[in-house]
Structure 1
Amino acid sequence: MTTSALTPSQHATDNDVDILRTVPARYARLAEELGKRIIGQEETIRDLFVALAVQGHVLMIGVPGLAKTLLVRSLAEILDLPFQRIQFTPDLMPSDITGTEIIDETEPGKRAFRFVPGPVFASLLLADEINRTPPKTQAALLEAMQERHVTVAGQTYALPTPFFVLATQNPIEQEGTYPLPEAQLDRFMFNLRIDYPSRADEVRILMETTSTNDTSLQTVWTGHEMIALQHAVRRIPVVQSVAEYAVSLVQATRPSDNSAPDFVKRYLQWGAGPRASQYLALAGKAFAALEGRFNVAKEDIRRSAKLVLRHRLITNYRAEADNETADTIIDRLLQSIK
């Protein structure tokens, strides 16, 4: 991996470069603050920050009790962002997310409709157990996640800036759930798999969560600073060879593509679309900024591959029979594409 110093470029202003220079140290502060409440989960914290640095939404999959909700709530506190949590249930309606119009008396004898915003009007939205609500309600988030506005009764309302959706899923209990359609999954930049803590971390969790300690967190970034960071990160350049590598990796996931290896044609029904290439590049920029670099290396693309691709690959029955998963197929792709 190249490790050139962070230097001004024709693509970035002096202010952008100044912002990017501060990223490694400020992220270290953010991780330290989160560490007061969240034990372990260092990679998860890093990956969440990478997505937020480029305005990406994140789907987190893990069993109950792994502090997913606490992590998101704490992150909102450290970034000083308005936070809302929606518990998705089978009877949740789209208006419970976006908001609704009510009849309001404007003056004596006169009435008019007034829009009451729903919880989606927050900078950081936690969609808890998103697959427990029917597709009609899931779709209420589609416009918000992609267009960053919602439409109610023919009127369009802009969402706050910045705006992030962090959704959770329970991988165990599938009874009474509604799998997310591919169009919805494609709106998520990353798919994070959150695993059990190590033995040492679990002992620390037990000791600290069964005491009376109440830890307060300090703000590290504000909402306005996050917007400036997002603009600065997007100005990090991607050289032609790295862009071609990212596209080659994505195209190789498509069974109908001539560049797809035999194992892809054998085990996948569908591969990733062009949005995956864009997200690989954006993630690469954020990973570079975290390491104080002003260039995206192929290694940045590789470390983003599973996060970006695992929920965009649809395996077939042969893959299940041979114990092949999206992750194992991505590992094989990373070895085969040089």
Structure 2
Amino acid sequence: MTLDDFAGRAEALRNEIRKAVHGQDGAIDQLLISAFSRGHCLLEGPPGTAKTLLARSFAAAMALDFGRVQFTPDLMPGDVLGANLFDFSANSFRLVKGPVFTDILLADEINRAPPKTQAALLQAMQERIVTIDGQDLSLGDHFHVIATQNPIEQQGTYPLPEAQNDRFLFKIIIDFPDRDAELEILRRHAAQPLDFNGRTAQIEPVLTSDQLSAAQDLIDGIRLDEKILVYILDLVRETRSDPDIREGASTRAADAIAGATRAAAALDGRDYAIPDDVRDLYLPALRHRIVLGPTAEIEGRTADDVLTSILGRIEVPR
């Protein structure tokens, strides 16, 4: 696959997703970067902002297996991973695989499940395998988690632990669209049947499993200049000394930004990265990986505010 072929496939994906989701172009691009760089995404936004629809549309535009788990307070790890159950007819145990055995997994409202169930995804997200009764089972090279959470309602929710947040490449903020985009959404739905599933029915798969592998191989071939690597490292290390941040980002975060930067360059039709690629990804890649200090919280500053301040004072390579 060439860069031109890749750019064409990516644009076809965008167009198919836009058939169902309007006014979220930034989130769509970040979702694509995440998939092509083998990362996972956490979508956060208030109810009714098309988080689930975005994930389903993304899956529909790819010829990959799709599974969904609605996370609830009574959900157990075995409900996600599967378990060995005794088969009385065969007088033996039989492995019943859970919904995690798919290519694209939608973990809907992940913060509604207790920590032990959230943690069931840790190994799957990092290693793309799960261990059930001592047996390692592969999830495949294309396993990709898209999780959603609602930041408004806190009753009956369990905040994701830092270790789990660190497994997500991006935390994508899904906000309300602007007035014109919101009016266009109403126009589209006014001309359609009142059926949620019908909104993705018109989406055609435009990327096969083999094409996704070829795209990832293309991105693997993109190398980052030393100046870009140093810039990424300086931005990440600054989070560990900033007085407004209690816990800074890890080395895994720097490595994740570097990988995503290669995918962003390819999406723009380049076989080289530029500082703007890094700057565009800095907030979604780090906003969930830092813990603000008490002063910043008292002053009402957000993670994005603090990270934007860091972007402004770290020298951009030329």
Q: CA deviation at 1:59?
A: 0.5
Q: Letter of the aligned partner of 2:267 in structure 1?
A: L
| Corresponding residue SS for 1:22 | helix
* Structure 1 residue runs of 4 or more that deviate by more than 6 Å after TM superposition: none
Q: Under a length normalisation based on structure 2, what TM-score does the superposition of the two structures give?
A: 0.94
Give the one of 10, 19, 25 matched to 1:27. 10
| Corresponding residue SS for 1:127 | strand
Give the one of 282, 295, 302 matched to 2:279. 302
Give the one of 43, 53, 70 matched to 1:87. 70
Give the one of 288, 291, 306 matched to 1:314. 291
Alignment map for 1:175-194 (pairs within 5 Å): 175-194=155-174
Q: CA deviation at 1:200?
A: 1.4
Q: Under a length normalisation based on structure 1, what TM-score does the superposition of the two structures give?
A: 0.89
Give yes or no for contact 1:20–1:233 (8 Å, CA) kept in 2.
no
Q: Which residue is equivalent to 2:83?
A: 100
Moved more, 147-156 or 187-196: 147-156
Q: CA deviation at 1:234?
A: 1.9
Q: Structure 1: which 5+ residue stretches go unaligned?
A: 1-17, 256-263
Kindly name which structure, 1 or 2, has the bigger radius of gyration based on alpha carbons: 1
The CA distance in 2 between the partners of 1:28 and 1:64, in whole Å, is: 28
Give the one of 148, 152, 173 matched to 2:128. 148
The CA distance in 2 between the partners of 1:212 and 1:298, in whole Å, is: 43
Identity %: 44
The CA distance in 1 between the partners of 2:258 and 2:140, in whole Å, is: 25
Per-residue CA shift, 1:227-277, capped at 9, x if unaligned? Answer: 22112212201011110110011011102xxxxxxxx12x11110000111
Q: Which residue is equivalent to 2:268?
A: 291
Q: Which residue is equivalent to 1:132?
A: 112
The CA distance in 1 between the partners of 2:221 and 2:102, in whole Å, is: 26
Q: CA deviation at 1:20?
A: 2.6
Q: Letter of the aligned partner of 1:231 in structure 2?
A: D
Q: Which residue is equivalent to 1:259?
A: none
The CA distance in 2 between the partners of 1:321 and 1:114, in whole Å, is: 54
The CA distance in 1 between the partners of 2:283 and 2:231, in whole Å, is: 15
Moved more, 66-75 or 53-62: 66-75
- Between the two proteins, the alignment pairs up a number of residues equal to 309
The CA distance in 2 between the partners of 1:234 and 1:112, in whole Å, is: 44
Give yes or no for contact 1:90–1:134 (8 Å, CA) kept in 2.
yes
Give the one of 112, 132, 147 matched to 1:167. 147
State whether structure 2 residue 307 is matched by structure 1 residue 324. Answer: no
The CA distance in 2 between the partners of 1:335 and 1:292, in whole Å, is: 27
Give the one of 25, 41, 59 matched to 1:42. 25
The CA distance in 1 between the partners of 2:88 and 2:137, in whole Å, is: 22
RMSD, aligned CA: 1.3
Q: CA deviation at 1:24?
A: 1.8
Give the one of 275, 282, 302 matched to 2:259. 282
The CA distance in 2 between the partners of 1:229 and 1:55, in whole Å, is: 11
